[in-house]
Amino acid sequence: MKHLFDKSLSKSYRPFVFWCIYFISFSGASELARRYGLLDYIYNIDNTKISVLIASILVWKTLTCGKSIHDLCKIESLDKKLTKIKENADDGWLWSDLVTSLGMIGTVVGFIVMLSSFESVNFENTKSIQEMIKNLSYGMSTALSTTLVGLVASVLLKVQYFKLDELIKSNEKKLSL
């Protein structure tokens, strides 16, 4: 049994330690966003609630990536799990693109809400114009918030899965030696 402070063991788990630091930073940033009301703001302006779906996918795939990195760090079981981990990595790349697409769907829905406000406007009635402006801003805020959440989630996932792919390639080289 290897000791916790053994150099070879600590070096082999370095990618997982970096992922843990990434996850802790991500969690801390999320807590700051919650504490300063940014998460509530995005939730309230997104009438589609696609942002919640995107955030759920981000957390799910982040944890999946972390497990894959942890499994790759276990040298003794590497050859058995490498195929499964490669499938998880490919799956992660797919989901990183899907969250961008979900953000774009939210954008389109927001624009539809925005443009539908012109349908019932009476330009001679100020109350009607005020209602139209309210609907325009509501639709635009939905469009922009879902786009922002989708793009940020995609970037965060791609950074992780890029590192996972590098680790997979590195371990494939070790196995071929």
- What confidence tens digit (pLDDT) does each residue in 20-37 have? 999 999 999 999 999 999
pLDDT given at position 172: 79
Query: Which amino acid is residue 71, in one-letter code?
Result: D
pLDDT at site 1:
47
List, for residues 134-155, the tens digit of each pLDDT value.
888 888 888 999 999 999 999 9
Asked if 65 and 92 count as a contact pair (C-beta separation under 8 A), the reply is yes
Rounded to an integer, the average pLDDT of 102-119 is 87
The predicted model gives 96-108 an average pLDDT of 93
Q: Which residue has the higher pLDDT, 27 or 176?
A: 27
* CB-side neighbour CA atoms (13 Å) of 27: 8
Closest CA to 60 of 105, 23, 86, 106: 23
CA distance 105 to 113: 12
With 0.85 as the threshold, say if the pTM is over it.
no
Q: What does the alpha-carbon distance between residue 126 and residue 120 come to, in Å, rounded to a whole number?
A: 13
